Amino acid sequence: RSKKTENYLQTLNEPQREAVLHGEGPLMIIAGAGSGKTRVLTFRIAHLIEKGVDPFRILSLTFTNKAAGEMRQRIENEVGYEARNIWMGTFHSVFAKILRIEARHLGYTSDFSIYDTDDSKSLLRSIIREFKLDDKVYKANVVYNRISGAKNRLVSAEDYANNPVIQADDDAARMKELGRIYKTYVGRCFQANAMDFDDLLFNTNILFRDFPDVLYKYQHKFQHVMVDEFQDTNVSQYLITRKLSAAHRNICVVGDDAQSIYAFRGANIENILNFEKDFPDVKTIKLEQNYRSTSTIVNAANSVIARNKTQLEKKTFTANEEGSLIDVIKAGSDNEEGRMVATAIFEEKMQKSLKNENFAILYRTNAQSRSFEEALRKLGLKYRIIGGMSFYQRKEIKDLLGYLRFIVNQKDEEAFKRIINLPKRGIGDGTVAKINVTAADQGLGFWEIASNATYYIGGRTAAPIEQFATLIKSYKLLIEEGKDAYEIASHVAKTSKLLKELYDDKTVEGLSRYENVQELLNGIKEFVDSEETEDKSLSAFLQSVSLLTNADEPDEDADHDRVTLMTIHSAKGLEFRNVFVVGLEEDLFPSQMMLESRQDLEEERRLFYVAITRAEQKLSFSYAESRYQWGRLKMCEPSRFLLEVDKTYLNVTRLLAGMDPTPASGGSTSFVRNLTPRRPTEPRNVPAAKAHAPSGDFKPSDTSHLKAGDKVEHMKFGFGTVVKMDVDGTDRKAVVRFDGVGEKTLLLSFAKLRIL
């Protein structure tokens, strides 16, 4: 073994090392949170490469592309840049890549479009309209979920339409036309040379089922297959990995049944049980030691998950220190919850000299982020939101991407509909409908109709449609000339007048949309310039963006030191020093929609377990006694989950006493007081030397970079200048000369200072 190998093997415990060194044959690790599963997978890949396995022949499937990126980086540190050649990514991104290569077998071309959820729903809406169905019964959302569910169970449109048994669960009585919609939807996607997200898995299964030589090729290409977060793979994903590893049987899966949180998406704990049946000679390794969290956190998590009936037997302990108790924060309202959590972060950060990035706020639904954003902004704490309205879901971004998609694939109907009248050229919905009908009549695509609009459509709108077609043709030429993604995208942004329209809009929103498009162009430039990009074509770029998951958001800027706000679902696999699990109220968490059966409630509890186990050093819970939901003020009960945590690990004093108030909140936990609008403090008629009247909305700033010479304002002492800084252990002190008050030595972890 090389010196290097020795190094990382020494950082593993015995069962972890055994897993890393395991040679050929199936391997499964089912173990609790923080026990090093991902770490084992990472070092196992590094080890295989060191032993001489070609990185091109290792396939590693992760939950987000970001997770893949981090794992790759870690492996690169051990084995060098060869790590770049590993096939690594989410199921969707890896198999989209394979589908591009093999597209022709399925009747697609290799530059097929990928429809995102919005595209799919928009297509479904038009089908529902064409069928003249009641869109209150056939909600696009619900229909989409039904179709998605069917695809993930590998039920084709034909099977679905012909088999009443399959439909029975889908309350088919209410939506009798579901089968017909599904069939038409699939047909239209195919015509558009487009696949939706579920197709990427569904079609891979078809590919491997119907083309044994293709399957053979990939079975022999990949010598080793690895799957992280195995508990959340759905049937469709599981079958793909099983088929791929059928020849060599070198499959290594790691997961935790207690963290299965996507049952609603077709993921199934059964996979774990099936794995043992499908690979009876599987080697199973247990990891029982948690390295991530304090014993308080590990024990609290264990006390919660013990209540679930459906779970595999396993233990988790830790040798880590006990750490502090779990704070429980009670707030009067959702806004106050935001302020209390932000203040707690602020104080903890100052007292312990931490960074913003040490903190995460985890919630059940994206809509909860607002109150935390506001409060963090007031305290000057930088944050980033993962998920929610993602960068790539913004209209201006989708508009430009719509152009780029259509230039690559003129059959892409959803892209066509998006851009045909953008910027406005007098082509209304009526005309689009006419193009639609004509295309169906003539058995042609939108593009053929649009390119010959004078003939097919005639009338006043024919000319602008043909001008649009000419514009698209001029862009297509750029692809033929071999221009790269950036050259084409920046040319399109300029000449389509998309940028100009945004530039001319001088509102704040307009400006930010303009910047977003610039940011997208920057991103494309980065893609083209990156050493890792082999194929710099527009089509390759589109592929890379269409598969980003919510957790793969671009960072707003290079500054990584931010508090993270995200849903618990997207926090899977991650860890943070300090974690706040917020909104612990009945009907919110557990969600109202998950209270119908024991299975559902257990899934919510697993989600709670995932949330708790993200924390390393310090965990806090919070809930509000009232909150605005769907525009109404609602009184809330604390979540049953709070009561399920073993009390020995909870610190409820904050709950009883309320917290040290921020000056802005008025310090009341009474929700009536909190709803009264706050007035700025009236200037009081007292000499400045005794009591300073701070400006109306006194916001303490982050003092981690405070230095001598800085001008500051203090809550009580008023204005002053920092004379010198003093660091005593972790305590940071500032000596400040205040006007009319004199010199004061302030402990920065407590002082409420504003830097001017």
Binding-site ranges for Mg ion (CB under 5 A): 37-38, 573
* Residue at shortest CB range from Mg ion: 38
Which residues are part of a known binding site for ATP? 31-38
> Are 231 and 267 a contacting pair, CB within 8 Å?
yes
Residue 66 beta carbon to Mg ion: minimum distance, rounded to whole angstroms: 13
- For residue 55, CA distances in Å to 5, 19, 636 come to 17, 19, 53
Residue 253 beta carbon to ligand ATP: minimum distance, rounded to whole angstroms: 13
Nearest by Cα to 80 from 72, 69, 89, 70? 72
**Joined tokens for residue 321:** 């220190």
> Are 399 and 406 a contacting pair, CB within 8 Å?
no
Nearest by Cα to 485 from 526, 425, 443? 526
> Are 567 and 387 a contacting pair, CB within 8 Å?
yes
Three-class secondary structure of residue 331 per DSSP: strand
Compare residues 12 and 240 and give the one whose CB is closer to ligand ATP: 12
Dist CA 123 CA 140 (whole Å): 9
Interacting residues with ligand ATP (CB under 6 A): 11-13, 16, 33-39, 256, 259, 291-292, 573, 575, 613
DSSP assignment, residue 624?
E
DSSP assignment, residue 585?
B
Residue 289 beta carbon to ligand ATP: minimum distance, rounded to whole angstroms: 7
Angle of the 270-278 helix axis to the 235-244 helix axis, nearest 10: 20
Q: Which does 13 bind (CB under 5 to 8 A by kind): ligand ATP, Mg ion, none?
A: ligand ATP
Percent helix, strand, coil in the chain, to 5, is 50, 15, 35
Compare residues 363 and 576 and give the one whose CB is closer to ligand ATP: 576
Compare residues 34 and 338 and give the one whose CB is closer to ligand ATP: 34
- For residue 261, CA distances in Å to 26, 60, 317, 486, 580 come to 25, 21, 22, 39, 19
First to last CA, the chain: 59
Q: Which does 34 bind (CB under 5 to 8 A by kind): Mg ion, ligand ATP, none?
A: ligand ATP
Dist CA 192 CA 476 (whole Å): 17
* Residue at shortest CB range from ligand ATP: 36
Dist CA 310 CA 4 (whole Å): 42
Q: Which does 323 bind (CB under 5 to 8 A by kind): Mg ion, ligand ATP, none?
A: none
| Number of residues that make up the chain | 756
Residue 383 beta carbon to Mg ion: minimum distance, rounded to whole angstroms: 24
Q: Which does 11 bind (CB under 5 to 8 A by kind): Mg ion, ligand ATP, none?
A: ligand ATP
Catalytic residue positions? 37-38, 228-229, 259, 614
Residue 37 beta carbon to Mg ion: minimum distance, rounded to whole angstroms: 5
Compare residues 124 and 261 and give the one whose CB is closer to ligand ATP: 261
> Are 440 and 450 a contacting pair, CB within 8 Å?
no
Dist CA 476 CA 118 (whole Å): 25
Compare residues 398 and 614 and give the one whose CB is closer to Mg ion: 614
Dist CA 81 CA 196 (whole Å): 33
Residue 323 beta carbon to ligand ATP: minimum distance, rounded to whole angstroms: 15
Q: How many CB atoms lie within 10 A of CB 145?
A: 14
- For residue 552, CA distances in Å to 120, 390, 732 come to 21, 9, 36
As a dihedral over the C-alpha atoms of residue 431, residue 436, residue 439, residue 444, rounded to 10 degrees, the angle is 120
Which residues are part of a known binding site? 31-38
Question: Cβ-count burial of 466 within 10 angstroms (0-12 exposed, 13-18 middle, 19+ buried)?
Answer: middle
Compare residues 12 and 252 and give the one whose CB is closer to ligand ATP: 12
Q: Please write down the HEC assignment for all residues of 268-303.
A: CCHHHHHHHHHCCCCEEECCCEECCCCHHHHHHHHH
> Are 404 and 412 a contacting pair, CB within 8 Å?
no
**Joined tokens for residue 199:** 């197709």
Which residues, other chains included, contact 434 with Cβ-Cβ below 8 Å and sequence gap of 6+? Answer: 457
Compare residues 258 and 465 and give the one whose CB is closer to ligand ATP: 258
Compare residues 37 and 47 and give the one whose CB is closer to Mg ion: 37
Residue 417 beta carbon to ligand ATP: minimum distance, rounded to whole angstroms: 41
Residue 22 beta carbon to ligand ATP: minimum distance, rounded to whole angstroms: 16
